[in-house]
Structure 1
Amino acid sequence: MTKVYEAIADAFVAEGTSHVFGMMGDANMHWMNAVAERGVELFEVRHEGSGLTMADGWSRATGRPGVGATTCGPGVTQLATALVCAARARTPLVVFAGAAPLTDPGDSQYLDQRRFAEAVECGFVSVLAPARARTAVREAFWLARTTSKPVMISVPMDVQLAEFDGPAHYLPSTDLIDTTPVTPDPQRIQDAADLIAESERVVVLVGKGARSPEVAGLVIQLHERTRALLATTLQASNWLRDRTPYHAGIAGGYGTRIAHELMREADCVVAVGASLNQYTIWHGRLFPKADIVHIDRAGQVVPGDGRPVDCYVRGDARPALQQLITALGGRTPAGTGFHTPVVAERLREATTLREPFHREPDRLDPREVVLTLDRLIPERLPLVLGSGHQTDFGTMLFSRPREVVSNYGLFGAIGQAPLLTMGWTLGRHGQPTFVVEGDASFIMHLAEFDTACRYRWPVLILVMNDEALGAEYHKSEAHGLRRDLSAIRSPDLGAVATAMGGHGATVRTIAALEAAVGDFVADPEPTVVDIRITRAVMSVPFRRLWCGEEV
């Protein structure tokens, strides 16, 4: 006879599960053994939440639902931050969560998992009867895939050990999901084409929802046909930068001053696969006189300033752009648009750092660090950016057209980026990947560098170490508070990494940084480079927000 935990394992495998990240406990060990026996790779981590964030990174890399596993009680509560982060990032995850036995209501590790899941923006499916085991798995994967969010499947220990008495045949969730591309309404396409043709200065703004090889050529074609500026959201940073001299970079708070000035001249914005949240439109200040054409596969989306767009086209990016270009025909916006030598020169100037680097003994200027990294690290290596003040430098100054994964602004949780990187590199079949993170962020989940070393994941963790909570350090100054309260002494993280079985270096000069990065590029192994940076340099977004500077 088949036990419930075995039936659930069979269903996970039928759903395509190949990798599971988690930590074993008495409420999930039977299931973890069962999936391992069925050929699934298990990755044992040091903290349940860390494992789920690795599953998040794996999912972002593969486009498939990531899978995590946890025991009951404290194992479940450890997932809180990772679940909210995944929900805000719209990452499909399925979590196998063991639960306290139904027959022991006084169990010390009892938790109302349904209420917990609701509080952390997670879907919830329970298995309270043996016959429901496989149906619950299908429901969980269906929810994850169709709503793009994490879903917890809760299974009490005594139910897991019962005999499965449900149907033998299993129909996976993929058989129930219509993947036909969303075809846009022809009249909406015509309305969009009319708005664009009647404009003079167009911005084509692309987000993560449009970032794919099959869409790239269409974006460039529309950009050239309309003589538009090309801009991206934070989540599509630097995409197509190498395809045009009229790339304005990120739209929003991370944009350059010159890009802001040009975008305020726009009379039409064509947003493709972008949410148009308050950060992308800079709280309504970025496109004050522009008509907005918004292409997205979701239902009607209202931008972050609350003003409905002028023309919403519901559809997948590829067919919508193909039809829009056809509808434009030979019509083009009046005048030269943004495609002039003057605009091209201004955009080149926008990416040139004019201010001198700050010089301080044994401390590096974070701007010089980022520019050095961008020069040294090949474009084929993806970049993961975390959260916090130090991330601002990388977000604005990395400019090569590499693949970028940004975790900024989704929940504001520090410490997630190295974990995402570990899952990402595994999802990309061991592709070397580098991450830029702060010292407090990296140390928060330092134990997981051991996980990277055990599995020999080729991750390069670049720690921008100012020995402080950098954001709070600079905000304290702006609020007239004591900055020293946010300063925290840091150990030699290069030595720690070496002691944990990886490679490590602590650098205080550009030459030492070049040597450490060169070693990784030549032989990608789990590596930490502890880069000691000054606290004297404030990022451009912070200077805008907290000092009122026009930079």
Structure 2
Amino acid sequence: MKAYEALAEAFVREGTRDVFGMMGDANMHWMNALAQRGVRLYEVRHEGSGLGMADGWARTAGAPGVVTTTSGPGTSQLATSMIVASRARTPLVAFCGETTWGDQGAVQYLDQRRFAAAIECEFVHLSRPDLAEEAVQRAFYLARTESRPVMLSAPIDVQTKDYGEEDLDSYVPSTDLITRPRLLPDPDRVATAGDIVEASRRVVIIAGRGARAAGAAEQILRLQEQTGALLATTLQAKNWLCGDTDYHVGISGLFGSKVAMELLQEADCVIAVGASLNHYTIEHGYLFPEAKYVQVDTSPHIVMGNGAVADCYIQADAVTALTELSRALEKRSVRHEGFHTDDVLRRLTAPLQEPAEYQGERDRLDPREAIRVMDAEIPGEIGLVLGSGHQVDFGTMLFQRSREVLSNYGMFGAIGQAPLLTIGSIVASGGRPAFVVEGDASFLMHLPEFETACRYGLPILVVVMNDEALGAEYHKLRVNGLDQELAVIPTPELGDVAVALGGSGATVRTTDELSAALADYVRDPRPTVIDVRITRNVLSVPYRRLWYGENV
């Protein structure tokens, strides 16, 4: 048995079923061994794209994603996507081939250990063939326990040496080494939290990605009922539980609605569950000026976005902590009306106020109107991925239908990642359709990967909000008194490009054309691009708040 075979077998034992990447001479033996073991290999057009797909796979599956590259330039292509995954705290393992160990004169030589440190991932090196299983186990252990990417760097000469006799039962998966008992809350902290909540009258619960991952929905809704709380989410948990309560206010922070902003400022107590309360979520503290904070998280401690610490910090599993807090409040007979009034309900359930007049121009839609049409016509069971950039602000705020939402906003600020995340997410879900909303510059950055989706028949819908410009820079140039035309970049008809790459596509300029294109995809989900031509004359609400101080 060769070392590369032992490596492949160990990956399989770790649960690997899908691998994204590009083949080269330093990883082809390992990829061949994986294929022989039934692992599905997704050959991509760029190594960094493969990592983006592995990132989306991991975020959807809740397990480490896997990407592979060859040595040197193959590995160096991972840089941007690796940092995105690191900032998103995504567990994944990158199997990177390496030139012959010690041969610094090799054409593809790269000090991959130093490179890994620069792109913010852990590093595991295969130094001897007999350590193959140990290296894989350690890589997956680090990915799982530290929730971050890990580079497993394997010199080609070490991979092709003899490993020893095959023993299929000897490998111990990293999952067998990890015990995750529920962190029990300190009773004194629970009592302190009870004191704060009992003395409060306007409670807000902010649920984050950690609360959703912990499966704390039932406990959050119970606590909300006891306290009369408004339920808000972080951006990363957008729309979670919005179909389960009438008193859901949407996103807390910069991307919140005007109604949300007004109501949340009345809070005298904020209970954060699995939410870091970064400066986006609490607007540097301006959003909750009079509130005391109770924070529940599994981390030892968190400094909030206003530079302060919570009035009561409970390090515990969300389910256990909220169960104990609810029990403590029940013993005290705490039952607040809080925000649960007819007036608040009327404000929350009123339709989103549409602009008095959409600002479309000839052959170009108002982006807000495009989002309204999409939200109405794409069924809730079709998940949504949001990218980054100015045009994504509209969807981040205006998509209201209850559906699974994955947002890449704030993860290193790298455009172009969202379509990759969507492809990986679709693979992880077993081929369930999903749509992604991106800008034209973002989509074109990794255009070849739409062909990858076509090649594997993945039912991705890419909605390109196309203003034929670098949208954020277009508006920033104006704010700074510079020439906006420098950010204008014409694009071809992207619907036709999608067809040329083997998929379906349409370029739309009216709501009727958009509705028809969406209906076509919903009727028969397949790789599709809808190029939505939008005006550049509409500035998003977050930008209006940040740059012009508008109360919108």
With the length of structure 1 as denominator, give the TM-score of the two structures: 0.98
How is 1:303-322 mapped onto 2 (pairs within 5 angstroms)?
303-322=304-323
Hey, what's the Cα distance between the residues in 2 that align with 1:211 and 1:331?
28
SS state at 2:279 partner:
coil
Root-mean-square deviation (CA, aligned residues, Å) is 1.4
Query: Aligned partner of 2:453: which letter?
Result: A
Q: Quick check: 1:410 aligned with 2:416?
A: no
Contact 2:226 2:336 (C-alpha < 8 Å) held by counterparts: no
Q: Quick check: 1:340 aligned with 2:344?
A: no
Aligned to 2:123: 124
Aligned-pair distance for 1:357? 0.8
Hey, what's the Cα distance between the residues in 1 that align with 2:82 and 2:409?
16
Aligned to 2:134: 135
Aligned to 1:292: 293
Hey, what's the Cα distance between the residues in 1 that align with 2:90 and 2:78?
15
Aligned to 1:87: 86
Query: Aligned partner of 1:62: which letter?
Result: A
How is 1:11-410 mapped onto 2 (pairs within 5 angstroms)?
11-102=10-101, 104-165=103-164, 168=167, 169-211=170-212, 214-329=215-330, 331=332, 336-349=337-350, 351-410=352-411
State the percentage of identical aligned residues: 58
Aligned-pair distance for 1:245? 2.3
Contact 1:478 1:547 (C-alpha < 8 Å) held by counterparts: no
Contact 1:259 1:350 (C-alpha < 8 Å) held by counterparts: no
Query: Aligned partner of 2:490: which letter?
Result: R
Contact 1:358 1:537 (C-alpha < 8 Å) held by counterparts: yes
Query: Aligned partner of 2:47: which letter?
Result: E
Deviations 1:431-470 (A, max 9, x none): 1001100000000000000000010000110000000000
Hey, what's the Cα distance between the residues in 2 that align with 1:332 and 1:83?
50
Contact 1:3 1:162 (C-alpha < 8 Å) held by counterparts: yes
Hey, what's the Cα distance between the residues in 2 that align with 1:446 and 1:338?
47
Aligned-pair distance for 1:348? 3.2
SS state at 1:241 partner:
coil
Listed as ranges, the gaps of 5+ residues in structure 2 are: none
Aligned-pair distance for 1:39? 1.1
CA gap of 1:355–1:309, structure 2 versus 1, over 3 A, is farther
Listed as ranges, the gaps of 5+ residues in structure 1 are: none
Contact 1:295 1:315 (C-alpha < 8 Å) held by counterparts: yes
Hey, what's the Cα distance between the residues in 2 that align with 1:531 and 1:86?
29
Contact 1:133 1:166 (C-alpha < 8 Å) held by counterparts: no
CA gap of 1:375–1:535, structure 2 versus 1, over 3 A, is same
Deviations 1:172-206 (A, max 9, x none): 11111012222212221121112111111100110
Hey, what's the Cα distance between the residues in 1 that align with 2:351 and 2:77?
44
Contact 2:214 2:317 (C-alpha < 8 Å) held by counterparts: no
More displaced 10-residue stretch of structure 1: 421-430 or 338-347 = 338-347
Contact 2:3 2:159 (C-alpha < 8 Å) held by counterparts: yes
More displaced 10-residue stretch of structure 1: 509-518 or 540-549 = 540-549
Hey, what's the Cα distance between the residues in 1 that align with 2:474 and 2:324?
51
SS state at 1:243 partner:
coil
Aligned-pair distance for 1:396? 0.3
Deviations 1:249-279 (A, max 9, x none): 1001001122112111111000001111111
Contact 2:226 2:335 (C-alpha < 8 Å) held by counterparts: no
Aligned-pair distance for 1:244? 2.1
Size of the aligned set, in residue pairs, is 550
Hey, what's the Cα distance between the residues in 2 that align with 1:152 and 1:336?
52
Aligned to 1:522: 523
Query: Aligned partner of 1:210: which letter?
Result: A
Deviations 1:216-252 (A, max 9, x none): 1221111111001110000111111122222111001
SS state at 1:293 partner:
strand
Hey, what's the Cα distance between the residues in 2 that align with 1:265 and 1:546?
25
SS state at 1:371 partner:
helix
Hey, what's the Cα distance between the residues in 2 that align with 1:266 and 1:329?
21
Aligned to 1:429: 430
With the length of structure 2 as denominator, give the TM-score of the two structures: 0.97
Deviations 1:135-167 (A, max 9, x none): 111110000000000000001111111111599
SS state at 2:537 partner:
coil
Query: Aligned partner of 2:472: which letter?
Result: A
Aligned-pair distance for 1:289? 1.1
More displaced 10-residue stretch of structure 1: 77-86 or 205-214 = 205-214
Hey, what's the Cα distance between the residues in 2 that align with 1:26 and 1:212?
39
Hey, what's the Cα distance between the residues in 2 that align with 1:525 and 1:273?
35
SS state at 2:502 partner:
coil
Query: Aligned partner of 1:512: which letter?
Result: E
Aligned to 2:461: 460
Contact 1:58 1:426 (C-alpha < 8 Å) held by counterparts: yes
Query: Aligned partner of 1:282: which letter?
Result: E
Aligned to 1:550: 551
Hey, what's the Cα distance between the residues in 1 that align with 2:521 and 2:182?
41
Contact 1:276 1:304 (C-alpha < 8 Å) held by counterparts: yes
Deviations 1:343-389 (A, max 9, x none): 12222348322442113100000000001100001111110000000
Query: Aligned partner of 1:149: which letter?
Result: R
Aligned-pair distance for 1:213? 8.8
Query: Aligned partner of 1:346: which letter?
Result: R
